[in-house]
Structure 1
Amino acid sequence: MKGKILKLVTILSLFMLMLSCGSDKKEEAKQEGAATEAKADNKEVKKYVIGSDVAFAPFEFKKDGKYEGIDIDIVNEIAKIEGFEVEWKHMDFSGIIGAVQSGQLDGAIAGMTINDERRKTVDFSDPYYDTGIVGIVKADNTDINSPDDFKDKRLAVKKGTTGAEYAESVKEKYNTKITVFEDTSTMIQSVINGQADVAFDDFPVIAYAITQQDPVQLRIATERLNTAQFGFAVKKGANQELLEKFNSGLKKLKESGKYQEILEKYTGKAEK
């Protein structure tokens, strides 16, 4: 009898030991799972330093101490879609490509026209905006309505832009004098103040500037003088992952309808 009791106690002890081991393994597995989940949750989100212009409304401009605009909204929305963070750096347009080349910026979006000259030093994304430059004059100026009217006139342009390139291309033909400005607002003001007869910039920039005037002091004097496309830029041969994320996010942004919402937010229903 005593032997049977001893045998029963031994069996119960072994059973309890097995239960304990199983429980420990389950707890260990649970802890490992939690650790893996925590590791995934704490996975570092990639942050990119993106550059933009300081004053190129409606693409980027400062309002109430904060930068906003088409370019800003597009990148911020793409960052949400593709899962990365953005650190913005705003600078004069003329220094942006240099900052991309030197590695100060991972990428740049600044109403930058895609062209062969820039392709020598940067890689561009798929085009994110179709545009073209126009000439603007004072609202009461009826003398300038086409390029032929530029003869002997004073032209205002922003440094490093397609508008500046156009002005240089017609300088000899029309015997013009060109004044170069660092930002769009100062360039436009030069026409209002009578320092220049006509200024050149991209259509949406000019259209937005005019809508902000009360009373209106300027008018668009020409048809679009060229056609162009804007692109997001990275250093040539570098940051290809960022470029791929931009292209992927841009496609999804357009498919969702959010892209059109951004355009209409700043330029109205005319943008299609």
Structure 2
Amino acid sequence: MKKKVLALFMTAAMAVLAVACGNTQSASTGDNAGAADGKVWVIATDTVFKPFEYTDDKGNFVGIDVDILAAVAEDQGFKYELKSLGWDASIAACQAGQADGMIAGASITDERKASGWIFSNGYFDATQSMAVAADSDIKGFEDLAGASVAVKTGTMSATYAEELAKQYNFTVTYFEDSPTVYQAVTGGQVAACFDDTPIMAATIKDSGIAMKLVDGSENEPAEYGFAVFTKDSQELIDKFNAGLANIKANGKYDEILAKYLGD
């Protein structure tokens, strides 16, 4: 019992530290009534998940998630602070009550809902795929027999790899973030990696990293959603859903996607 109490304490402590140390971006909104009470919502996000959240050449934190959140907040008239904590730390911060919500390319799944995630309506359809080194001869899952693949801990791509591992006789190695996953591939530590398709496509295109997507390796698409972890934050979900519907109707949503993904 003492060990369980200590573990809970450490999780909460790590979340507090993460929130205190994370990069912060504040946002003010318009004069809608929702901002009148002075409430500032703390929203956690990942650190590097291009094109959804990342730091540009000028040091600004940008991306599809960042712009959608800003547009929704402006539409609904609420204030927020966006904290770039990383995937695991964002979840921990929300669960510990140190953040009110999370936007980080989180796929909406029944398993997550059952474990306490409360999702908004979906705002982007994404698949997961396999990628290998640019000079690799791997053409499909059957070529992974006896090999190891890299994934980011606690993600849909990790679940996808785990589902395939037994069937195709490979092992799964876990890392904290996508850049480290890709380094494991290019450095020869693993034979392949699994991650969200738009993330890997953007990384390969923009950074010139020596990797390639494997044709035919995509799974079925799942929607990304904004998430909270307590019913006390249901108001934030309601605001996000209302704002998302409005920015889709007025064209702002399409502008954001075109900005980062092209027409």
- TM-score tier (shorter): 0.7 to 0.9
Partner of 1:139: 134
**For 1:33-48, what aligned pairs fall within 5 Å after superposition?**
43-48=36-41
C-alpha distance in structure 1 between counterparts of 2:213 and 2:129, whole Å: 7
CA RMSD of aligned residues (A): 1.7
Partner of 1:110: 104
Structure 1: runs of 5+ lacking an equivalent: 1-39
Q: Closer, same or farther in 2 for the Cα pair 1:43/1:109, shift >3 Å? A: closer
CA offset at residue 163 of structure 1? 0.9
Larger radius of gyration: 1
Partner of 1:255: 249
C-alpha distance in structure 2 between counterparts of 1:66 and 1:197, whole Å: 34
CA offset at residue 139 of structure 1? 1.6
C-alpha distance in structure 2 between counterparts of 1:222 and 1:94, whole Å: 30
TM-score (structure 1 length as normaliser): 0.79
Partner of 1:57: 50
Partner of 2:120: 125
1:79 aligned to which of 66, 73, 76 = 73
CA offset at residue 199 of structure 1? 0.8
Structure 2 counterpart SS, 1:212: helix
Write out per-residue CA displacement over residues 193-218 of structure 1, whole angstroms, 9 at most, x where no aligned residue: 1111111111110110011134x521
Partner of 1:6: none
C-alpha distance in structure 1 between counterparts of 2:206 and 2:234, whole Å: 38
For 2:249, the aligned partner's letter is E
2:194 aligned to which of 192, 200, 205 = 200
1:179 aligned to which of 162, 173, 181 = 173
Structure 2: runs of 5+ lacking an equivalent: 1-32
Write out per-residue CA displacement over residues 90-120 of structure 1, whole angstroms, 9 at most, x where no aligned residue: 1121232232222111111000011112112
Residue 267 (structure 1) aligned with residue 261 (structure 2): yes
Q: Closer, same or farther in 2 for the Cα pair 1:49/1:202, shift >3 Å? A: same
Percent identity over the alignment is 41
Count of residues in correspondence between the two structures: 227
Structure 2 counterpart SS, 1:137: strand
Partner of 2:240: 246
For 2:61, the aligned partner's letter is Y
C-alpha distance in structure 2 between counterparts of 1:149 and 1:79, whole Å: 47
Residue 226 (structure 1) aligned with residue 220 (structure 2): yes
Moved more, 243-252 or 163-172: 163-172
Structure 1 counterpart SS, 2:82: strand
